[in-house]
Amino acid sequence: MAKPTIAGNRTGRKLGQRVKNKKMKASSRQWLQRHINDPYVQRAQLEGYRARAAFKLLEIDEKHNILKGARRIIDLGAAPGSWSQIAAKVTGSTDEDIRVAAIDFLEMDQLPGVKILQLDFLDPSAPAQLIEAVGGTPDVVISDMAAPTTGHHRTDHLRTMHLCEVAAHFAVQVLGEGGHFLAKTFQGGTERDLLNMLKRHFKQVVHVKPPSSRAESVEMFLLAKGFKGRQPEPDISEA
């Protein structure tokens, strides 16, 4: 897959625009100003992606080659749907032959070739519904889930890491051999138990931060490649 370049501005919009609405809070005005001047936002609009997050997945795939040959993909925390758009394209998923299942508690507009579940992934019924929706064994599980932020770094980190851990255990339960798992995490350290679990089940486990992830953002992505197949859990009684 060709690496997405962002040189130049082909949207016709001038970079460096300022938001002059004085009724807005300063923080809101700064966020909006950064957003409209973000070349990745403009590129996403030009190429028909629902969010700039599309380029995070494309860049990770360009370096780590996790989407090539994928036939079925499950997308966790999918709204607004840019990762699902990519998943549908690489799998050749259609409404007649669904190969991509997406879940989010937020409402999502429909996407061709994607079965969308509006449901909290932590709902006990979610895993079974996802497997039924994707129609077979997935090759890739991707997760852009993050807990709503509170402004307290430690709390936000722990809440998002919990989602990452649940997603990881789900991936180990459903992936086909040789499959891959990608999930959002936050800088501040991945729990050792989670890393050890992934290293038991995958050939390679790395942290990645794609260029399109803003430098000031604390997000990173945890990538586990080459699923070894279901492995028996270690017997701690014999330790």
Active site residues: 184
Question: Do residues 167 and 187 lie in contact, with contact meaning Cβ atoms separated by under 8 Å?
Answer: no
Q: Cβ atoms within 10 A of the Cβ of 183, count?
A: 30
Which token pair is 11? 């949207």
Beta strands in the chain (DSSP E): 73-76, 100-104, 114-118, 140-143, 180-186, 202-208, 219-227
Q: Is the peptide bond before 80 cis (omega within 30 degrees of 0)?
A: yes
Question: Closest Cα partner for 37 from 6, 14, 4?
Answer: 14
- Bridge-based pairing state of the strands 180-186 and 73-76: unpaired
Whole-angstrom distance, CA of residue 35 vs CA of residue 182 = 25
Question: Closest Cα partner for 5 from 214, 212, 231, 229?
Answer: 212
Which token pair is 110? 């429909």
Beta strands in 132-201 (DSSP E): 140-143, 180-186
Question: Closest Cα partner for 225 from 131, 102, 139?
Answer: 139
Q: Cβ atoms within 10 A of the Cβ of 114, count?
A: 26
